[in-house]
Structure 1
Amino acid sequence: MTPPDAPVAGEAETAHFRALESLYAAAPINRLFDSRLEIPGPGIARIHFTLDERHFHAAGAVHGTSYFKMLDDAAFYACNSLVSDRFLLTTAFNLLLTRPLRSGPVVAEGRWISGKRRVYVGDARLVDAEGEEAARGTGTFMRSQIPLSGLPGYRAA
């Protein structure tokens, strides 16, 4: 897939990616997770997580809420990397959980799939420390009326 005509380019594009990474780091929910967002290019996002027993359900593996958060965030930021003026909102997300996760590092790899104006589609997968895929998800994200520039944490470099 070819990303839509990006409204940002060159240094402005890089500044947008760094500002989104800053926005992610500033979100209150992320105080609950040891995680870091990386946007290496348009339509791509990676979130590096470290999971531990705080994220476990009663049977000793990572609870599904953590799977959802990691997948949703990666797909969301992959799509929002293509939109420089507005915050996107998740409107739907489907999950496929294939392996239990335990303590340790996990990478959520997100990518833009389609959409160029109002609604974007992205997918993501979770990869554990052994390189095995543990889950996959697909989401739809809609442009909101919320300007990125007005959000605490969105700071262009």
Structure 2
Amino acid sequence: MDETAPPSPAPPTAAGAESHYRALERLYASAPVNALFASELTIEGEGRARIGFDITQDVFHAAGAAHGTIYFKMLDDAAFYAANTLATDRFLLTTSFNLHFTKPVRGGRVVAEGRWVSGRRRVFVAESRLVDAEGEEVGRGTGTFMRSRIALSGLPGYSQ
């Protein structure tokens, strides 16, 4: 891991921020793992991200509900992208993530809502919650993300 973080870039202009948000949405869509899921990312503004996700039987565990890895994927991604709205130059890496399951999901549309909490230079903290089609919270998570050496501009999905 990168032990010395590069200096934070100047905050983007409003147009620059919108461009960064759309580039993050393209980056999400271009990740090969996301081709496995019916999901989409929407960056709502600085420090906020939403991922809509359709839960189908192909992600169920043996007892007929979404497997915990699906909760993790959605919660981690929503928190990650909320944090990466504040890092306009570097890709962030998840360094830790705590999650709490509160209700099984047996299918339908769920939304992961991510929100940046703190940090702007080297380490970022963000939280997320997962809401089912009835509007009930089914899971919650908090993650820590670190600025990497990977330039966002060098990633194919981001730089289109």
Shift of 1:6: 6.5
| Superposition CA RMSD, Å | 1.4
In structure 2, which of residues 102, 112, 115 is the aligned counterpart of residue 108 of structure 1?
A: 112
**Are the structure 2 counterparts of residues 133 and 6 from structure 1 closer, same or farther at C-alpha, using a change threshold of 3 Å?**
farther
Structure 1 residue matching 2:134: 3-state secondary structure:
coil
Amino acid of the structure 2 residue aligned with 1:55: V
Q: In structure 1, what is the Cα distance between the partners aligned to 2:36 and 2:21?
A: 23
1:53 equivalent to 2:83? Answer: no
- CA deviations on 1:77-123 (whole Å, 9 max, x unpaired) are 00000110000000000000000011110000000000120000000
1:77 equivalent to 2:81? Answer: yes
Count of matched residue pairs: 153
Question: Could you say which residue in structure 1 is the equivalent of 2:69?
Answer: 65
Q: What is the TM-score of this pair, normalised by structure 2?
A: 0.93
Shift of 1:54: 0.6
User: Is the 1:7–1:83 Cα contact (8 Å) retained in structure 2?
Assistant: no
User: Is the 1:95–1:135 Cα contact (8 Å) retained in structure 2?
Assistant: yes
Question: Could you say which residue in structure 2 is the equivalent of 1:124?
Answer: 128
Amino acid of the structure 2 residue aligned with 1:115: G
**For structure 2, which runs of at least 5 residues remain unmatched after alignment?**
1-7
Q: In structure 2, what is the Cα distance between the partners aligned to 1:27 and 1:102?
A: 26
Amino acid of the structure 2 residue aligned with 1:29: V
The alignment-based identity, stated in percent, is 65
Amino acid of the structure 2 residue aligned with 1:35: S
